[in-house]
């Protein structure tokens, strides 16, 4: 099973250099300087590759399941291109999000804006990553009858994610901690718009996958607290960054007055001792056990509901769920 997954990943990865060369070829065709071409290539290689590729592989897996056969070479390439489109969008958001959050590391490496010589150029690099999606879509799908639909789904999902980012940032600004704005309902709204749409809805454009995205983000929130940096691939900063996380919202929902005071005084404070107080409180209220209960319940709810009346094969639905159930990073 592991070998099959690795083989699928390698096949998907083999498409990336083709797409990268097409993008670089456009810059060369337009007479851009070698410096610009080299910078763009470094941006692509550093930010688009290196992740788990779950989003990209989900597109390819879904095409194969829905067709009920192995795709032709052309069908595979187009599915892989769309999968990479989702990965390009992910890269666009990670570069932007890391700047807004002032994060330190990403995938075990310094965040792009922290790389020597990059700094605020990362803003334009993020735009280039997003723009790359539409160049590739136009190049390969313009003559297809579903081209406009592809544009719509990428544009709509991007806008929904931007809205999610907005409500996340104004609910939990780093320099103004106000836990009265936090709630599990608000957290749900943030994660559906900020993560679920582009991570799960976009790869197959089916609403039934949105609850999977919610579950995925709750996992992310818990792992930010519970997973060691060497496993997570970054330093967890949700507590000191005043994030509207599942962990703090769960704690707020059950905290005694004394525990609420600890959260009010220490959450969002840029201080290791304050962070340690919050983590100790999480342990005291049994956040690990509560997450395990949440995860088991979420899996059962999702798998019991299944695809419902949506024309979506159960194998596709379960393939998405199995990619993230009980993940460790």
Cα–Cα distance, 164 to 175 (Å, whole number) = 19
> Given this model, what pLDDT does residue 204 score?
60
Name the residue among 285, 282, 273 with its Cα closest to residue 245.
282
> Given this model, what pLDDT does residue 263 score?
95
pTM confidence score: 0.76
Would you mind telling me the total number of residues written for the chain in this entry? Answer: 329
Structural domain contains residue 121: yes
> Given this model, what pLDDT does residue 205 score?
55
Give the contacts of 214 (CB within 8 A, at least 6 positions apart).
Answer: 188, 191, 192, 195, 196
Task: List the structure tokens of 246.
Answer: 């599942």
The answer to whether residues 143 and 11 belong to one domain is: yes
Cα–Cα distance, 253 to 251 (Å, whole number) = 5
Torsion over CA: 93, 97, 98, 103 (sign): negative
The answer to whether residues 97 and 201 belong to one domain is: no
Helices (H), the chain: 2-13, 16-29, 34-47, 54-67, 73-101, 121-141, 147-171, 184-191, 202-204, 210-226, 229-232, 246-254, 257-266, 272-284, 287-305, 314-324
Residue 84 near residue 58, CB atoms below 8 Å: no
267 vs 212 pLDDT, higher one: 267
Give the contacts of 119 (CB within 8 A, at least 6 positions apart).
Answer: 113
Q: Answer whether residue 271 shows pLDDT above 70.
A: yes
pLDDT in tens, 75-122: 999 999 999 999 999 999 999 999 988 888 888 889 999 999 999 999
> Given this model, what pLDDT does residue 307 score?
47
> Given this model, what pLDDT does residue 106 score?
85
pLDDT in tens, 107-117: 888 999 999 99
Express as a percent the part of the chain with pLDDT over 90: 54
Q: What is the mean pLDDT of the chain?
A: 87
Structural domain contains residue 162: no
The answer to whether residues 209 and 125 belong to one domain is: no
146-162 average pLDDT score: 91
The answer to whether residues 111 and 195 belong to one domain is: no
Other Cβ atoms closer than 10 A to 116: 6
49 vs 216 pLDDT, higher one: 49
pLDDT in tens, 171-203: 988 778 899 999 999 988 888 888 776 666 666
Structural domain contains residue 166: no
- Give the model's confidence band at 51: pLDDT under 50 very low, under 70 low, under 90 confident, else very high: confident
Cα–Cα distance, 75 to 228 (Å, whole number) = 40
The answer to whether residues 207 and 134 belong to one domain is: no
> Given this model, what pLDDT does residue 130 score?
97
The answer to whether residues 189 and 102 belong to one domain is: no
Overall number of domains in the chain = 2
Q: Answer whether residue 129 shows pLDDT above 90.
A: yes
The answer to whether residues 4 and 59 belong to one domain is: yes
> Given this model, what pLDDT does residue 301 score?
75
Residue 172 carries which DSSP code?
S
The answer to whether residues 321 and 238 belong to one domain is: yes
> Given this model, what pLDDT does residue 230 score?
78
- Give the model's confidence band at 15: pLDDT under 50 very low, under 70 low, under 90 confident, else very high: very high
Residue 248 near residue 267, CB atoms below 8 Å: yes
Q: Which own/partner pairs from 308-314 qualify as long-range (CB within 8 Å, at least 24 positions apart)?
A: 308/208, 310/206, 310/207, 310/208, 312/204, 312/206, 312/208, 313/65, 313/66
The answer to whether residues 177 and 145 belong to one domain is: no
Residue 132 belongs to a domain with what CATH number? 1.10.600.10
Q: State the residue range of the domain holding 68.
A: 1-149
> Given this model, what pLDDT does residue 44 score?
97
Structural domain contains residue 214: yes
> Given this model, what pLDDT does residue 323 score?
64
pLDDT in tens, 275-313: 999 999 999 999 999 999 998 888 877 776 544 444 445
């Amino acid at each position: 099973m592991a070998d099959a997954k690795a083989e699928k990943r390698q096949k998907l990865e083999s498409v990336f250099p083709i797409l990268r060369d097409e993008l670089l070829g456009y810059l060369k065709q337009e007479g851009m300087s070698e410096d610009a071409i080299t910078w763009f290539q470094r941006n692509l290689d550093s930010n688009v590759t290196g992740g788990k590729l779950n989003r990209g592989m989900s597109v390819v897996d879904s095409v194969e399941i829905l067709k009920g056969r192995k795709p032709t070479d052309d069908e595979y390439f187009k599915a892989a291109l769309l999968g990479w489109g989702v990965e390009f969008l992910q890269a666009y958001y990670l570069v932007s999000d890391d700047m807004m959050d002032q994060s330190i590391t990403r995938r075990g490496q310094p965040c792009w804006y922290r790389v020597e010589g990059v700094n605020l150029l990362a803003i334009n690099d993020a735009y280039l990553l997003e723009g790359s999606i539409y160049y590739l879509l136009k190049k390969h799908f313009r003559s297809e009858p579903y081209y406009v639909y592809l544009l719509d789904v990428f544009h709509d999902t991007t806008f929904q994610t931007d809205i999610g980012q907005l409500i996340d940032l104004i609910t939990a600004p780093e320099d103004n901690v106000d836990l009265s704005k936090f709630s599990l309902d608000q957290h749900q709204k943030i994660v559906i718009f900020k993560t679920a749409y582009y991570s799960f809805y976009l790869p197959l454009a089916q609403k039934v996958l949105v609850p999977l995205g919610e579950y995925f983000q709750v996992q992310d929130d818990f792992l930010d607290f519970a997973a060691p940096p060497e496993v997570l691939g970054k330093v967890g900063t949700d507590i000191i960054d005043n994030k509207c996380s599942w962990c703090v919202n769960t704690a707020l929902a059950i905290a005694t007055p004394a525990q609420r005071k600890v959260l009010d005084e220490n959450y969002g404070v840029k201080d290791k001792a304050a962070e340690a107080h919050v983590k100790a409180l999480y342990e005291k209220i049994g956040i690990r056990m509560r997450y395990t209960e949440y995860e088991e319940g979420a899996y059962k709810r999702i798998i019991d509901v299944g695809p419902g009346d949506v024309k979506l094969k159960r194998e596709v639905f379960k393939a998405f769920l199995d990619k993230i159930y009980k993940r460790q990073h």
